[in-house]
Structures are given as structure tokens and as C-alpha cells.
Amino acid sequence: MTTMTDASVREFKMPDVGEGLTEAEILKWYVQPGDTVTDGQVVCEVETAKAAVELPIPYDGVVRSLHFPEGTTVDVGTSIIAVDVSGGAGAPVEAPASAPAAAVVAAEAPEEAKPQARQPVLVGYGVSVSATKRRPRKGAEVPAQEVAAAVQQELNGHSGRVEANGHGGPGALAGPVGQAVLATVTAVAGRPLAKPPVRKLAKDLGVDLTTVTPSGPDGVITREDVHAAVAQAAPAVPEPVRTAPVAPVTVAPAASYDGTRETRVPVKGVRKATAAAMVGSAFTAPHVTEFVTVDVTRTLKLVEELKRSAEYELQGVRVNPLLLIAKALLVAIKRHPDINASWDEANQEIVLKHYVNLGIAAATPRGLIVPNIKDAHDKTLPQLAQALGELVATAREGRTSPAAMQGGTVTITNVGVFGVDTGTPILPPGEAAILAVGSIKLQPWVHKGKVKPRQVTTLALSFDHRLVDGELGSKVLADVAAILEQPKKLITWA
């Protein structure tokens, strides 16, 4: 691929399709180099951390090149396609098979344009451009300039007389200043001067010879010097310090993998965003979950009645138990509005929401998503039924927009559709409560003093204990259960 320098070539960059997202994966290209495109034509489908989105091109022209192949994750703001808006003068360039365009451009750059050292590939990461110096090998000769500089620094730090004895070796220095200079010269020139028996004594006593001031001829460390260093380092308190025995460190065995019988799936898109959100929520908001088991026989009878009768204006929309559960939760929130809130960590404030964007957790082929019904608190039952039907259908088709998954305040997750009795759901980030609905089963139940088979389910309400205390959470859950047990309360409480 070559760089586009013609003024007639327009580069289309990866847009931020999800309000603050930083990257997206190219799922499918709908055009190829040489194809004619028009303003508003969809050229590719990308998957962000929240949804799959189709991208329209804002130009009229001919595709010159596709900078990235399908399956590549591209940062927002990076050019992904070049379009010749003059009509396509010049031969189109083939789409890359595997490598990103940026890598190809770098490979074809002129020799003088190449950097002199490895450059970081991510902000804050990479190899430093500055050169490093290898320290001298053990026993190697130290340059005289280093010795002279060290001696001069030591002399500048002491006052005294330096006496010459007529020799040219280290013994030319005498007195305290001379001894200090000898130690400095020895430290710079290499290992301290000491005979093997003295070195063994120092090792047995735990003395570092580089810290010992030599008193022997020509700066040699003696046994007396080692014992003197031990005496100076001895603690003032004669009692020995008793330490607890150290338990042996057990090294965990390294994880083993069998590549022939395992499959690795890259974590990206919706799955990556969900994982990050759940970890952040679980370790930020203190979760509390409460449970209640309730007889919903009357609610199921009301659902069947609403399906059959045309007078309730619910023809053409899907009526199911989730509709009445959602309505029950909205009524409970209306009675206890403090549960509809969020925690502002930066300002240390509780934000009370005077609207309810009701989230509905949906399992899709790309992972779990939680779109929400905007202003659900203002909707009538038929309007709520229509919104629920559209939300579920859009999610199953993978067409949920990023905007539909933002701004939720309270969520419902229906784990009962998988045959699960209940669960302890994790809060979506920024929300104060989530209601889990278990499977509805025919169970023995005491009804009017007699044990009868009744339709029973278990509800679980998880809430952020920074915002919601036990009393408030219990009242909301109890109200939802009361409405599902006696649906007539919708008339008196709504």
C-alpha cells in the first residue's frame, strides 16, 4: 500500500460510535477497492464494546484502498478507508491480507525517514531511545580519569595534610586523609584489597568489605579491620533479637496448557467490555442481595386474560410475565424513589434520578448486553409492552445501538428463562439496583390454609449499599412481591 498524497483522496477515519469508546473491530467490509460509493452508503460493519454498528461513508467517489482487513481492531480516529472523490483516477490498491496499513507504510518509508531506535508502540510503553552504558567487567581496568575524579572528590571533603613518602604507589598518602583516599581509590579501581583468610572471616561475620576502612600497607584490609567493623555495627542493646522462624516459600506450579485440545478465543468487543464493567462494579460498589419467594398464580392468570381480551388495547404486542414484573418494579420505585440513584465518587454526592430508564439484560450471540427503555416510568402498560417487544427483537438481531445501552438507572435480569431458580446479579455500573427473576414453577404452597399447587418464583434484588440501606432495599423488594401476588395493587399503588 502507498500513502495517499493526492488532494482528491479522502481518508475516512474510525468514528466514535459509542460516546467515549476508544476502539472498534471491523466485522465485515461491504465494498472493495475500485467500487463506487455514494454519500450515506454503508461500507462496513464494526463491533464496539457495546454493539455492532454499520458505518456509512460521507463521500461520493471510488474506493482506493481498505487499510485494514476484517477482524482487525482499530483505534478511534484511525483512517480505515481511502476514497477518490474525483472519480477514481489511478489504479486502486488491493486490500491488505493480514497486516494493518500503518505497518505497510512504515515498511515502505525511505531509509532516512526511519527512526534510529525502536519506538514505543503504545502510549507509555516501549523501548527508550536513550543509549545505555555497560558497566565495566569484573577485574577490568578502570580509566584513570574516574580514579582521579573520585580522589579529588574525597580530598575536597576532608581537611588535613597529604604527605609524600617518595613512592609512586598508593602509599604516597598518609594520615586520615590518606586512608580515606586509599579506600576511595580501592572502591573505584575494583574489589577491596584483602587476603583470602580475611575475606573468609568477613564472609563468616557478614561484613561487606567495601564498607571497611583498611589499615594495612598499601590499603590492604586486615583481620583487625574486619573485627573493628563488626564492633562498630554491633547493636547498642546486648540482647539478641529473636525472630520467628520463616516458613518455607511454596512456589505455585506454572499453569500448563494443552494446545491440541484447547481453543483460545480473543477477549474483545462486547465480551471485553462486559468483563471490565463487571469487575469494576463488583469491586467498587458494596453489593447486598435479598431474596423473596412469592406466589405469582394470580399474575399468570392476569397475563392470560390480557392476551385474550381485546378491550385492554394490547393486541399486536407481546404480553408475558416480564411485562407485569417490569410494571411492578416501576410502581415500587415510584413508592420508594431513593432507590433510583447513582453514586458520584468524584464529587462525593448521591445523584437522585427523577426518571427511570429500565434496563433489560439480554443474552445475544455477541454476549450479554443491557439496553434500556427510556423514561419507562411515563409509559402506559400497552406502551411498555411495545417497548419491551422492540427492545428484545432488536437485541436478538444484533442491532442494538450504543445509545440504547447508555443511561440505565435500574435493571431486570430474567434468569428464569434458563430454568434457574434465582441468582445474585452484579449491578451494571452506575446503577443502584438490579432485580433477578427466577423460573416460575408449580410448587406446593399454603394458600387459604391449605396446601395447594401454586405458581411460585423467587426474586432477588441486589443493590449498592452505599446508596441503599437494608430497609429501603427490603421495602422495594417486598412491594414488587406484593404486586405480583396481588396484581390488583397496580390499581391502588400506581
410-452: per-residue pLDDT in tens?
A: 999 999 999 999 999 999 989 999 999 999 999 999 999 999 9
What integer pLDDT is reported at residue 319 of this predicted model? 92
Does 397 fall in a domain?
Answer: yes
Specify the pairing of strand 450-464 against strand 358-360.
unpaired
Does 151 fall in a domain?
Answer: no
CATH (domain of 33): 2.40.50.100
> For residue 467, what is the enclosing H or E element?
none
Does 150 fall in a domain?
Answer: no
Task: Compute the distance between CA of residue 392 and CA of residue 326 in angstroms, rounded to an integer.
Answer: 14
Task: Compute the distance between CA of residue 90 and CA of residue 446 in angstroms, rounded to an integer.
Answer: 82
Torsion of CA 32, 33, 38, 40, to 10 degrees: 50
Task: Compute the distance between CA of residue 198 and CA of residue 224 in angstroms, rounded to an integer.
Answer: 9
What integer pLDDT is reported at residue 250 of this predicted model? 61
User: Which of 91, 113, 135 corresponds to the end of one domain?
Assistant: 113
- 272: cell is 471485553
Which amino acid, 336? Answer: H
Specify the pairing of strand 410-414 against strand 433-437.
parallel
Query: What is the tally of structural domains in the chain?
Result: 3
* Those residues with Cβ within 8 angstroms of residue 449's Cβ, 6 or more apart along the chain or in another chain: none
- Give the residue among 469, 342, 312 at the shortest CA–CA distance from 406: 342
What integer pLDDT is reported at residue 178 of this predicted model? 52
Does 145 fall in a domain?
Answer: no
Does 160 fall in a domain?
Answer: no
What integer pLDDT is reported at residue 140 of this predicted model? 44
**367 with 480, same domain?**
yes
Does 26 fall in a domain?
Answer: yes
DSSP 159-179: -S-PPP-S-SSGGG--HHHHH
Domain hosting 206: range is 169-232
3-state secondary structure of 456: strand
**296 with 403, same domain?**
yes
- 179: cell is 586512608
**91 with 194, same domain?**
no
**298 with 412, same domain?**
yes
Task: Compute the distance between CA of residue 72 and CA of residue 81 in angstroms, rounded to an integer.
Answer: 13
Residue 447 backbone phi and psi in degrees, to 5? -130, 120
- 225: cell is 579491620
Reading the chain (494 residues) residue by residue, the pLDDT tens digits are 444 456 789 999 988 766 566 788 888 899 999 999 999 899 998 887 667 788 899 989 999 999 999 988 888 889 999 999 986 444 444 444 444 443 333 334 444 444 444 443 333 333 444 444 444 444 444 454 454 455 455 555 544 444 444 444 444 444 554 555 555 555 445 577 877 778 878 888 888 888 888 888 878 888 888 888 877 765 555 555 555 566 666 665 666 677 788 888 777 766 677 777 777 777 678 889 999 999 999 999 999 999 887 777 788 888 999 999 999 999 999 999 999 999 998 898 999 999 999 999 988 877 788 999 999 999 999 999 999 999 988 988 888 888 888 899 999 999 999 999 999 999 998 999 999 999 999 999 999 999 999 999 999 999 999 999 999 999 999 999 999 999 999 999 97
What integer pLDDT is reported at residue 388 of this predicted model? 95
* 354 flagged as catalytic: no
User: Which of 72, 93, 113 corresponds to the end of one domain?
Assistant: 113
Return the beta strands (E) in 31-120 as ranges: 36-37, 42-47, 52-56, 61-66, 73-75, 79-84
CATH (domain of 173): 4.10.320.10
What integer pLDDT is reported at residue 49 of this predicted model? 66
- 205: cell is 561475620
Task: Compute the distance between CA of residue 333 and CA of residue 328 in angstroms, rounded to an integer.
Answer: 9
Does 247 fall in a domain?
Answer: no
What integer pLDDT is reported at residue 112 of this predicted model? 43
Task: Compute the distance between CA of residue 154 and CA of residue 169 in angstroms, rounded to an integer.
Answer: 18
**336 with 416, same domain?**
yes
**395 with 474, same domain?**
yes
Task: Give strand pairing partners of 25.
Answer: 47, 73
DSSP 414-448: EGGGGT-----PPPPTT-SEEEEE---EEEEEEET
Does 130 fall in a domain?
Answer: no
What integer pLDDT is reported at residue 244 of this predicted model? 58
pTM for this structure?
0.55
* Those residues with Cβ within 8 angstroms of residue 356's Cβ, 6 or more apart along the chain or in another chain: 330, 333, 340, 375, 376, 377, 409, 410
User: Which of 71, 87, 113 corresponds to the end of one domain?
Assistant: 113
What integer pLDDT is reported at residue 152 of this predicted model? 52
**88 with 174, same domain?**
no
What integer pLDDT is reported at residue 251 of this predicted model? 61
| CA pseudo-torsion sign 123, 124, 128, 130 | positive
Give, in degrees to the nearest 5, the angle at Cα 141 between 206 and 144: 110
Task: Compute the distance between CA of residue 389 and CA of residue 367 in angstroms, rounded to an integer.
Answer: 19
CATH (domain of 479): 3.30.559.10
Instruction: Please state, in angstroms and as integers, the Cα–Cα distance from residue 104 to each residue in 100, 101, 127, following that order.
Output: 7, 5, 21
pLDDT in tens, 307-334: 887 777 788 888 999 999 999 999 999 9
Q: Which of 227, 287, 336, 465 is catalytic?
A: 465
> For residue 97, what is the enclosing H or E element?
none
**353 with 208, same domain?**
no
Residue 258 backbone phi and psi in degrees, to 5? -115, 95
**296 with 228, same domain?**
no
Task: Compute the distance between CA of residue 91 and CA of residue 64 in angstroms, rounded to an integer.
Answer: 8
Task: Compute the distance between CA of residue 334 and CA of residue 379 in angstroms, rounded to an integer.
Answer: 13
Tell me the H-state helices in 234-364. Answer: 269-282, 297-308, 321-335
